[in-house]
Amino acid sequence: MAIGERIRFIRNLRGMTQKYLGMAIGFTEKTADVRMAQYESGARTPKESMTADLANVLGVCSQALAVPDIDSDIGLMHTLFALEDLRGLKVSELDGELCLRLDKSKGMTYVGMLEMLSAWHEQAAKLEAGEISKEQYDQWRYRYPEFDTTQRWVKVPSQELSDAIVKAAKKKK
């Protein structure tokens, strides 16, 4: 999730308007909503000091707004938090161990995530059982979804191709 999307998400979570947030960080009433709309749409990117001001008004840390850096522990945590917001990922305890789970109340988001994670689990199980090599497993992961054998991902024809097929079928009648 890009910084603008995070700003919008947290602003909405806090019940703030763009104008209110913009004015709270120092923009004039006349320009506050326009400037915030530019940040949220990605037309502009706030400088580090502006990001700090936004984070302060929104009541979050700057890393919660920034695109997470998964190479750091804090960045990884904020990535997981974003997945909780967007995809319903939850942290739980199962049999005395911490685990990540999906929130079924997320409807189709849950279904999509379940299918993707099930495909991943299938390949991980094959690796663990010795049915595939580490190289094959890595190839599957790094070329996903191209090498997904579950066939859950189907390419949809372009609208032009679809229209041409329909037109050709009508001509045959």
The CATH number given to whatever domain includes residue 43 is: 1.10.260.40
d(C-alpha 126, C-alpha 134), whole Å:
10
In a domain, 88, yes or no: no
The answer to whether 47 and 41 are in contact (CB under 8 A) is no
Compute CA distances 19 → 11, 29, 145, whole Å.
11, 7, 41
The answer to whether 3 and 51 are in contact (CB under 8 A) is yes
Same domain, 115 and 171: yes
In a domain, 75, yes or no: yes
In a domain, 43, yes or no: yes
- Domain interval for residue 34: 3-81
In a domain, 62, yes or no: yes
In a domain, 92, yes or no: no
pLDDT for residue 79: 87
In a domain, 127, yes or no: yes
In a domain, 126, yes or no: yes
Look at the chain and report how many structural domains it folds into.
2
With 0.75 as the threshold, say if the pTM is over it: no
Last residue of a domain, one of 81, 116, 134: 81
Same domain, 116 and 168: yes
Same domain, 77 and 7: yes
pLDDT for residue 69: 77
Same domain, 112 and 171: yes
pLDDT for residue 62: 86
Same domain, 144 and 112: yes
In DSSP notation, the chain reads --HHHHHHHHHHHTT--HHHHHHHTT--TTTHHHHHHHHHHTSS---HHHHHHHHHHHTS-HHHHSPP-TTSHHHHHHHHHHHHHHH-EEEEEETTEEEEEE-GGGTHHHHHHHHHHHHHHHHHHHHHTTSS-HHHHHHHHHTTTTT-TT----PPPPHHHHHHHHHHHHHH-
Q: Which residues of the chain have pLDDT under 70?
A: 1, 151-166, 169, 172-173
Last residue of a domain, one of 42, 66, 81: 81
pLDDT for residue 82: 84
pLDDT for residue 171: 74
> Alpha-carbon dihedral of residues 90, 95, 96, 100, nearest 10 degrees?
-20
In a domain, 37, yes or no: yes
d(C-alpha 96, C-alpha 144), whole Å:
32
pLDDT for residue 155: 44
pLDDT for residue 18: 97
Same domain, 61 and 8: yes
pLDDT for residue 75: 85
Last residue of a domain, one of 81, 113, 143: 81
